[in-house]
Amino acid sequence: MAEVIINIIDIKKYFKVGTQVVKALQGIDLIIQKNEYVAIMGASGSGKSTLMNILGCLDTPTSGTYILNGHDVSRMTDNELAEIRNREIGFIFQTFNLLPRATALDNVILPMIYAGKNKKDRIERGKEVIEQVHLTDRIEHKPNELSGGQRQRVAVARALVNKPSIILADEPTGNLDSKTSEEIMELFNEIHRGGNTVIVVTHEEDIAKQAHRIIRLRDGVIESDEINPKFSKSKILS
């Protein structure tokens, strides 16, 4: 039986903008199982960015419950959220978010420093994930010496370095050309085949169609939640 890694129950998120209350999420229920590959889609204002921030423990809901890998994170303090983020979630952003003066290796091992790992373990694990993303020959290069695709590979390696429960990617190909986008999405397929749970937030249909399950948001609610017809459910969760 598949293991539930994310269980969201009746999540609501309201923002006050002046005198108006914006209901960004209006009662979201969502279960994601271990080793699923999920795309979250939606137009601007649909609530997908708000949902991503809650999934990534970057924000807390106004009400509802969020169980992440057995932990109720919906009521955690900022410090508790920071700790669980570093341990459970590997982030990949559209803009790479790399330190410009640091080498590829130094960028990759940064989460391990926050996790308190010793230098030997950091270097060993850093080299391992850089090899996993096929970038060993660029290990000492700085971001300005790398192409956009190579920078995103560094960001993917950094997301993997702490062996997180979930890889959460926000528009991961938004700054890349179509050929490089295909290469990065193939890397995501490799990561998924390796056993990771992968969640991609995107507005691009061709990127979403790489995922095995596609969730569409509209006006703060889930409009549809479907298995990608390209994949059978038995194959996805086997």
Burial 36-61 (b: 16+ CB within 10 A, else e): bbbbbbbeeebbbbbbbbbbbbebbb
Helix, strand, coil percentages (3-state) for the chain, rounded to 5, are 35, 30, 35
User: Domain for residue 88, yes or no?
Assistant: yes
Identify the band that residue 231 occupies on the pLDDT scale cut at 50, 70 and 90: confident
CA-based nearest residue to 170, from 35, 33, 56: 56
User: Domain for residue 24, yes or no?
Assistant: no
38 has pLDDT over 60: yes
Percent of the chain, pLDDT > 90?
Answer: 78
Is the four-CA dihedral 217, 218, 220, 226 of positive or negative sign?
negative
Domain harbouring 212, CATH code: 3.40.50.300
User: Domain for residue 125, yes or no?
Assistant: yes
If you search the block for the tokens 């590997």, which residue do you land on?
A: 90
Note if the pTM is more than 0.85: yes
Token pair, residue 76, equals 């955690």
User: How many angstroms separate the CA atoms of 123 and 185, rounded?
Assistant: 26
Helix orientation angle between 178-193 and 148-160, rounded to the nearest 10 degrees: 20
User: Domain for residue 215, yes or no?
Assistant: yes
If you search the block for the tokens 């997301």, which residue do you land on?
A: 159
128-182 pLDDT tens trace? 999 999 999 999 999 999 999 999 999 999 999 999 989 999 999 888 889 999 9
User: Domain for residue 191, yes or no?
Assistant: yes
CB-CB contact of 56 with 66 (8 Å): no
User: Domain for residue 180, yes or no?
Assistant: yes
User: Domain for residue 1, yes or no?
Assistant: no
Q: What is the pLDDT of residue 95?
A: 86
User: How many angstroms separate the CA atoms of 125 and 166, rounded?
Assistant: 18
User: Domain for residue 56, yes or no?
Assistant: yes
237 has pLDDT over 70: no
Residue 162's domain comprises: 36-60+75-236
* Stretch 58-84: mean pLDDT: 92
Total domains in the fold of the chain: 1
Token pair, residue 69, equals 């890998």
If you search the block for the tokens 């005198």, which residue do you land on?
A: 19
